[in-house]
Amino acid sequence: MKTLRLLLCLCLTVTFLLVPCRAFALEPLRDDAIAIAAPSAILMEKVTGQVLYEKNADERMLPASVTKIMTLLLIVEDIEAGKLSLEDTVTASARAASFGGSCVYLEEGEQMSVHEMLKCIAVASANDCAVAMAEQLAGTEALFVERMNARAQELGLENTHFTNCTGLFEDAEHYSSARDIAVMSRALISHDLIKDYSTIWMDSIRDGSFGLTNTNKLVYWYEGCTGLKTGFTSGAMYCLSATAERGGTEYIAVVMHGQSIESRNADATALLNYGFSRYELCSLLPEEPLPALPVELGTAESVPLRLEGEAAALIPKGSVKPDYLLELPERVAAPVAEGQPLGTLTVTLGEETLAELPLLAAQPVGKLGVFPLFTRLFGSLFGL
DSSP per-residue letters across 320-374: ---EEEEE--S-EESPB-TT-EEEEEEEEETTEEEEEEEEEESS-BPBP-HHHHH
Which of the pair, 5 or 146, is modelled with greater confidence? Answer: 146
Q: Is the pLDDT of residue 25 over 80?
A: no
| Contact (CB, 8 A) for 262 and 41 | no
pLDDT value of residue 284: 80
The torsion angles phi and psi of 292, rounded to 5 degrees, stand at -90, 140
Q: Is the pLDDT of residue 327 over 50?
A: yes
pLDDT value of residue 173: 97
Q: Is 65 a catalytic residue?
A: yes
pLDDT value of residue 380: 57
Q: Which of 80-89, 201-210, 298-307, 363-372 has the lowest mean pLDDT?
A: 363-372
* Beta-bridge mates of residue 239: 231
Catalytic member of 40, 46, 55, 65: 65
Q: Is 283 a catalytic residue?
A: no
Catalytic member of 40, 46, 55, 68: 68
Q: Is the pLDDT of residue 2 over 50?
A: no
pLDDT tens per residue across span 77-109:
999 999 999 999 999 999 999 999 999 999 999
Residue 265 host element (H or E):
helix 261-278
* Beta-bridge mates of residue 176: 61
Q: Which of 57-66, 88-97, 104-113, 290-299 has the lowest mean pLDDT?
A: 290-299
pLDDT tens per residue across span 204-214:
999 999 999 99
Which of the pair, 351 or 8, is modelled with greater confidence? Answer: 351
pTM, full prediction:
0.83
Catalytic member of 125, 177, 198, 241: 125
Q: Is the pLDDT of residue 15 over 50?
A: no
How far apart are alpha carbons 160 and 178 in whole angstroms?
10
Q: Is 319 a catalytic residue?
A: no
pLDDT value of residue 271: 97
pLDDT tens per residue across span 227-283:
999 999 999 999 999 999 999 999 999 999 999 999 999 999 999 999 999 998 877
| Contact (CB, 8 A) for 134 and 90 | no
pLDDT value of residue 289: 80
pLDDT value of residue 370: 58
SS3 170: coil
Q: Is the pLDDT of residue 191 over 90?
A: yes
SS3 162: coil
pLDDT value of residue 319: 75
